[in-house]
Structure 1
């Protein structure tokens, strides 16, 4: 039985929106994608977490700094409070059930916020050192900078290498991870590019967009395949 993978969309002009590459990557890796609406009822969110086998937190807009006890700075972009509320609640419900989570770009950031971390609202104005271009001016399937991966991490297992080129479309980034989570990749300017849980079966956040790269880069497809493999454990257990 193929696992059901809930994917969180963006909200644009009163319509849900999701780039097709997210769906394509899940299908290519052997999962069945299900696009999730934003819910506010705690019981409904718990029930959704109980029905899906894994959660893909997709990319999108900025995150409300309220969640990490900051006020908005001028560099903060457009936020969607409904999305923040839903995703944070859903992440917590998934973690209680120890179900796999893969966070991509914004999804990586909201995953960190949901577990008690914090973040930079705007890298370019909050970090006082030379930075790479983290918001690349190139097609999404183009890789723009290197990341260095921590050996013997789950990410290293999936990528098979300690240096990988990735694409980059963000101006926010993780600042601090809470206990129980570990950094698994950084860019050359020391921006956090990936992290994972030390205690859960599969909880991984990546700052780049592997869904745009999986067709041409087998390593990015392996990331989704390993995620789906972890999700399949729920189907065999009857979760």
Structure 2
């Protein structure tokens, strides 16, 4: 049987749920069975986590800074309180059960906040010096900057190299990373681009969008999803 992969969703102001179909395609391509997790069922987190073989925390709106003891800065974007309410707790429950988690863009940031870390509400306003273009002005499947991968990390084993190119669509980014997470990839300007857990079977977060790249045939992105689905079949 195919492993059941929960995929988190975002909401619009009219409460319609929103999810880019690229996430669904990437999970299906890698051999998983996608299950869309709606907002508003946070009281059933334990049952949801028990049903899932793995969790794909998708991209989306900004995270409320109140979740990491900060107030909103001027350049904070639109937040999704309902999504925050379910997603943070669902990540924590999956970590407790040691079930695989793959966090993408906002999903990586949620993973970091869930274990007690924080994020830059706006990486350009809160970092000095010259930064790369992290919201690229290029097609979404174009790989616009490099990521240096930590040697010896799980991610390096999956990537089979210590330097890759990625696409980029974010203005928030991970700041302080607590254990059991470790940084396993950075951009050349120092912005954290990927994380992994040292205490779980498979917990990886990336700041770019491998779901788009994998559907365009990028080998590293394909292996990320394949290794995630493989971990979800292991008991």
Distance in 1 separating the partners of 2:179 and 2:212: 31
When the two structures are superposed, what TM-score results if normalisation uses the length of structure 2? 0.97
* Structure 2 counterpart of 1:19: 20
Q: Is 1:217–2:225 an aligned residue pair?
A: no
Aligned residues: 233
- Deviations along 1:198-231, whole A, 9 cap, x unmatched? 0001111000000010132111000000000000
* Structure 1 counterpart of 2:92: 92
Distance in 2 separating the partners of 1:211 and 1:41: 26
Structure 1 unmatched ranges of 5 or more:
235-239
Distance in 2 separating the partners of 1:89 and 1:39: 12
Distance in 1 separating the partners of 2:42 and 2:87: 12
- Deviations along 1:78-136, whole A, 9 cap, x unmatched? 00011011000101111111100000000000110011101100011100111000011
Structure 2 unmatched ranges of 5 or more:
none
* Structure 1 counterpart of 2:57: 57
* Structure 2 counterpart of 1:5: 5
SS of aligned partner of 2:129? coil
Which has the higher mean CA deviation after the structures are superposed, 32-41 or 176-185? 32-41
* Structure 1 counterpart of 2:166: 166
Distance in 2 separating the partners of 1:196 and 1:80: 25
Distance in 2 separating the partners of 1:180 and 1:205: 13
CA RMSD of aligned residues (A): 0.9
Q: 1:39 offset after TM fit, Å?
A: 3.5
- Deviations along 1:54-94, whole A, 9 cap, x unmatched? 00000001000001111000110000011011000101111
SS of aligned partner of 2:186? strand
| Contact 1:98/1:201 (<8 A) preserved | yes
| Contact 2:11/2:39 (<8 A) preserved | no
* Structure 2 counterpart of 1:116: 116
Q: 1:40 offset after TM fit, Å?
A: 4.4
When the two structures are superposed, what TM-score results if normalisation uses the length of structure 1? 0.96
Distance in 1 separating the partners of 2:48 and 2:41: 12
- CA 1:123–1:41 in 2, change beyond 3 Å: closer, same or farther? closer
Q: Is 1:198–2:221 an aligned residue pair?
A: no
Q: 1:38 offset after TM fit, Å?
A: 1.7
Q: 1:41 offset after TM fit, Å?
A: 4.3
Distance in 1 separating the partners of 2:90 and 2:21: 22
Q: 1:14 offset after TM fit, Å?
A: 1.4
User: Pairwise mapping of residues 146-161 of structure 1 onto structure 2 (< 5 A)?
Assistant: 146-161=146-161
Runs of 4 or more above 4 Å deviation: none
SS of aligned partner of 1:176? coil
- CA 1:2–1:213 in 2, change beyond 3 Å: closer, same or farther? same
